[in-house]
Amino acid sequence: MHPTLTTAVKAARRAGQIITRASQDVDLLKVSSKRQNDFVTEVDRAAEDAIIAILREAYPDHAILAEESGESGSTSEYRWIIDPLDGTTNFIHGTPQYAVSIGLEHRGQMQSGVVFDPLRNEMFTASRGRGAFLNDRRIRVSRRAKLGEALLGTGFPYRVWDHVDAYLGMFKELMQKTAGLRRPGAAALDLAWVACGRFDGFFEIGLSPWDIAAGSLLVSEAGGLVGNLLGETGYMESGNMVAATPRIYPAILQAIEPHLTEALRA
């Protein structure tokens, strides 16, 4: 395992311990709202602090982008992108679908990624050019090739409503053309599930870099394709993403294309 990945795994496990301990008394947590339908708890902050402490100890010169504390550190070519608790709304409701996500970017390209599901003790890892793994087992995207047989993950718009009509058009189109759509509520895990074949594809609008940094590398290292709603690069900047098996990917793009507004094509 690459040293940066080893460090990320250590940090993810430490955050997972904090999250698991707090899950025993969810009703006692202090919850605040950053904006509409976007919540943060003391667990998010404690987990993020623990992750940053471990990363800083190993790589003090690296920059960091974290969901709760924002940008910090130097102007290094390396940048850690952290979501300490992806699926906070699930967590505070006791819904068992959330994860820790840690990715390392070098000159704008993802190099290492970890998505850790503490409930299932599933550690998804990937290093550029070295494949993707679930715990110690190599994983690949599914071999499913027909959209009509595909199970897709997605995420509903919940913070910004500018594109809700376009999204509903895509949702209706794919609902009719696939075996099913699922909305578990944690994009990092959705992408990890594409990487290991539980989902055949995933699409969402309005994500943040920390939601998708590690998961996008997992999918590509597992043999899948990742892009924006036009099948191009720039999904980290726009937050609009499609990820899927090589055969399902173009079919999703074709299905959603008629519903893209000018803003979503930009």
Instruction: Give per-residue pLDDT as tens, 68-126.
Output: 888 887 789 999 999 999 999 999 899 999 999 999 999 999 999 999 999 999 999 99
CA distance 15 to 91: 14
pLDDT confidence bin for 37, thresholds 50/70/90: very low
- Written as one string, the DSSP assignment of 79-133 is EEEEEEEETHHHHHTT-S--EEEEEEEETTEEEEEEEEETTTTEEEEEETTS-EE
- The mean pLDDT value of the chain amounts to 93
pLDDT confidence bin for 39, thresholds 50/70/90: low
Average pLDDT over residues 152-171: 89
Residue 53 has pLDDT above 90, yes or no: yes
Collapsing DSSP to helix, strand or coil, 62 comes out as coil
Q: Could you identify the residue written with the tokens 């726009």? A: 238
CB 91 within 8 A of CB 41: yes
Nearest Cα neighbor of 242 from 254, 256, 228, 222 is: 228
φ, ψ for residue 130, nearest 5 deg: -120, 5
